[in-house]
C-alpha cells in the first residue's frame, strides 16, 4: 500500500479520533483485494483531519479548504460530513465537529453575506480591491445562497446523529434569525437588498454586472444568489439547486426552532418561506426539453430565461437527492440526470480516459473528481456506483489523492493537487460502497 502514498503537507498535529481509525481498520479488511483503492482510502478518509484542521483555543475549529489559507463555509462542511455518522460515541470528533459549527455561527454573525473567512482578523483577502463591505475577518464576500445552507446542514445532522444540544447557544439562534431575514430580503433583491459586489480587472465570472447588483430578476418566491457554488457569478440569479437546498434547510432549521428553542413564530416564518421557495421552483425552475422531457433548469431569472447545464460543484442538479430535495427515483430528477450526463450539457465531456461533468470554473475538457463521486453517491444501482469508483481509482495520476479537474484524455494533467473536499467526497462514496457490501 505504501507505494501509492505521498508525504502529507505539514499542519498542526491532530491525533486521529478512534472512530476514524476504526473505519481505516475496517477498510483494511474489506478492501484488501484492491490495494490501490485501499491506499487511496487511507489517504483520503482522514485527509481533512491530517492536513486542514486546526483546533483553536476558544473551543472552535478552523478548517482550510486545502491549497488556500482560508475557510469556506461550504467546503469545510463537506470536508467533515463523512465523520458525522461516527461522532455519537467519539468525544474527539464531537470536539472537532461541534467546534466547527460554533466557528460557522461566529463567522455568520460577523458577515451574513460572506462565503469564506480568515482564521483571525488579519485582513487577508482574495482580492483586496473588491468593492463591497469588507471586514478583516473576511477572505471573500461573494454571496452564495448555498453557503449558509451547509452551515445549518452540519448543525442539524450533527444534532440528529449525536443528540447533543450544546451547539445551540444564543448566537446560534441569532444566526438562524439572521438567515431567515436575509433570505426574505433576497427574495426581493432588486427592491430591498443592500448587497453589492464588484471586482475590477478580473474574469467576467468573478464579478457582478449592473454596478454590482447583478442582472435584473422577477419576483418568483425563490432566493436571489450572486454566485454559484463554484464561486462563479450566476447568469440568472435564481440558482435552482441552491434554492432546493434552502428549502430543505428551512425544514431542518424549523425542527431546531421547534424542538430546541421552542419558538413557534420562527417556525412559522421558516415554513412560509420554504413553501414560497418550493412553489417558485415548481413554477419557474423546470423546462420541457424536446429530448429528455421535463427537467430542472440550473438557473432562471423569473422572466422565462433559463440556463440549462450542470456544474461539478455541490449543490448541483446531480446532487438533488444528496441534498434531500427529492428521492433518486423522482421522474423529473431522472430526466434531468440523463440530460446532464449527455452532450446537451455544455460542461459534460467525454474522452479516451474518462467522461463526466466539469465546470466553467476550469478549462474545457476537464472533468471533476467531485462530479464522479457525486454521480456514484446518487446512483440508483450498484453497477454505476462501482463504475464511478473504478474511474476515480484509475484517474488519480498516481498521487493517491483526488484533484479538482483533470483532462478527459490525460488524467496526469489536473488542477489543484490538494483539494480536501474532493478527497472527502471520494472517501464518502467508497465508505458507502463498503457498508453496502458491494465492493
The pairing of beta strand 71-72 with beta strand 348-350: unpaired
Taking the domains of the chain in order of start, what are their residue ranges? 2-435
Alpha-carbon distances, residue 336 vs 36, 195, 259, 288, 298 (angstroms) = 34, 32, 36, 10, 10
Q: Which CATH class is domain 2-435?
A: mainly alpha
Instruction: Give 405's DSSP letter.
Output: E
SS3 of 354-390: CEEECCCCCCCCEEEHHHHHHHHHCCCCHHHHHHHHH
What pLDDT is stored for residue 13 in this prediction? 75
What pLDDT is stored for residue 12 in this prediction? 63
Q: How far apart are CA 337 and CA 334, in angstroms?
A: 5
CB–CB of 279/221 below 8 Å? yes
| E-assigned strand segments in 192-273 | 238-239
Q: How far is CA 220 from the centre of its chain?
A: 24
CB–CB of 421/75 below 8 Å? yes
The 3-state DSSP class for residue 229 equals: coil
The 3-state DSSP class for residue 227 equals: strand
Tens-binned pLDDT, residue by residue, of the chain (439 aa) = 333 333 343 456 799 999 999 999 999 999 999 999 999 999 999 999 999 999 999 999 999 998 899 999 999 999 999 999 999 999 999 999 999 999 999 999 999 999 999 999 999 999 999 999 999 999 999 999 999 999 999 999 999 999 999 999 999 999 999 999 999 999 999 999 999 999 999 999 999 999 999 999 999 999 999 999 999 999 999 999 999 999 999 999 999 999 999 999 999 999 999 999 999 999 999 999 999 999 999 999 999 999 999 999 999 999 999 999 999 999 999 999 999 999 999 999 999 999 999 999 899 999 999 999 999 999 999 999 999 999 999 999 999 999 999 999 999 999 999 999 999 999 999 999 999 999 8
**CA angle centred on 99, ends 373 and 133, rounded to 5°:** 85
C-alpha dihedral, 171 to 172 to 174 to 177, nearest 10°: 170
CB–CB of 55/96 below 8 Å? yes
191 CB neighbour count, 10 Å cutoff = 8
Q: How far apart are CA 117 and CA 111, in angstroms?
A: 9
3-state percent helix, strand, coil for the chain, nearest multiple of 5: 45, 10, 45
Q: Which long-range contacts (CB under 8 A, 24 or more apart) does 185-190 make?
A: 186/143, 186/145, 186/223, 186/224, 186/225, 187/219, 187/221, 187/222, 187/223, 187/224, 187/273, 187/276, 188/219, 189/213, 189/214, 189/217, 189/224, 189/237, 190/216, 190/217
SS3 of 253-316: HHHHHHHCCCCHHHHHHHHHHHHHHHHHHHHHCEEEECCCEEEECCEECCCCCEECCCCCCCCC
CB–CB of 369/316 below 8 Å? no
Amino acid at each position: 500500500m505504501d507505494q501509492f502514498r505521498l508525504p502529507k503537507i505539514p499542519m498542526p498535529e491532530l491525533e486521529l479520533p478512534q472512530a476514524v481509525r476504526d473505519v481505516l481498520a475496517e477498510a483494511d479488511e474489506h478492501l484488501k483485494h484492491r490495494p490501490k483503492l485501499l491506499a487511496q482510502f487511507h489517504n483520503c478518509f482522514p485527509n481533512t483531519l491530517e492536513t486542514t484542521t486546526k483546533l483553536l483555543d476558544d473551543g472552535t475549529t478552523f478548517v482550510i479548504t486545502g491549497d488556500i489559507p482560508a475557510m469556506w463555509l461550504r467546503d469545510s462542511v463537506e470536508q467533515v460530513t463523512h465523520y458525522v455518522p461516527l461522532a455519537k460515541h467519539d468525544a474527539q470528533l464531537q470536539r472537532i465537529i461541534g467546534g466547527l459549527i460554533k466557528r460557522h455561527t461566529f463567522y455568520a454573525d460577523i458577515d451574513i453575506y460572506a462565503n469564506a473567512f480568515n482564521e483571525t482578523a488579519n485582513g487577508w483577502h482574495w482580492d483586496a480591491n473588491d468593492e463591497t463591505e469588507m471586514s478583516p475577518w473576511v477572505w471573500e464576500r461573494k454571496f452564495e445562497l448555498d453557503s449558509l445552507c451547509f452551515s445549518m446542514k452540519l448543525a442539524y445532522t450533527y444534532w440528529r446523529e449525536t443528540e447533543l444540544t450544546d451547539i445551540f447557544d444564543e448566537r446560534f439562534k441569532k444566526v438562524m434569525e439572521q438567515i431567515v431575514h436575509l433570505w426574505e430580503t433576497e427574495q426581493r433583491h432588486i427592491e430591498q437588498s443592500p448587497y453589492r459586489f464588484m471586482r475590477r480587472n478580473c474574469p467576467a465570472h468573478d464579478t457582478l454586472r449592473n454596478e454590482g447588483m447583478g442582472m435584473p430578476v422577477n419576483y418568483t418566491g425563490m432566493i436571489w444568489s450572486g454566485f454559484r457554488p463554484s464561486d462563479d457569478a450566476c447568469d440568472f440569479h435564481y440558482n435552482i439547486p441552491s434554492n432546493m437546498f434552502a428549502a430543505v434547510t428551512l425544514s431542518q432549521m424549523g425542527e431546531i426552532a421547534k424542538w430546541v428553542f421552542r419558538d413557534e413564530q420562527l417556525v412559522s416564518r421558516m415554513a412560509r418561506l420554504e413553501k414560497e421557495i418550493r412553489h417558485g421552483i415548481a413554477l419557474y425552475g423546470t423546462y420541457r426539453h424536446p429530448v429528455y422531457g421535463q427537467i430542472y433548469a440550473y438557473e432562471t431569472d423569473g422572466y422565462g430565461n433559463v440556463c440549462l447545464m450542470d456544474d461539478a460543484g455541490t449543490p448541483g442538479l446531480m446532487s438533488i437527492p444528496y441534498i434531500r430535495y427529492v428521492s433518486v427515483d423522482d421522474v423529473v430528477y431522472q430526466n434531468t440526470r440523463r440530460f446532464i450526463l449527455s452532450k446537451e450539457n455544455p460542461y459534460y465531456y467525454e474522452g479516451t480516459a474518462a467522461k463526466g461533468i466539469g465546470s466553467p470554473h476550469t478549462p474545457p475538457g476537464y472533468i471533476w473528481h467531485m462530479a464522479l463521486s457525486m454521480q456514484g453517491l446518487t446512483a440508483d444501482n450498484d453497477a454505476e456506483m462501482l463504475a464511478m469508483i473504478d474511474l476515480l481509482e484509475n484517474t488519480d495520476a498516481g498521487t493517491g489523492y483526488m484533484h479538482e479537474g483533470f483532462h478527459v484524455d490525460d488524467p496526469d494533467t489536473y488542477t489543484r493537487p490538494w483539494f480536501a473536499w474532493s478527497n472527502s467526497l471520494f472517501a464518502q462514496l467508497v465508505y458507502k460502497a463498503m457498508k453496502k457490501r458491494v465492493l
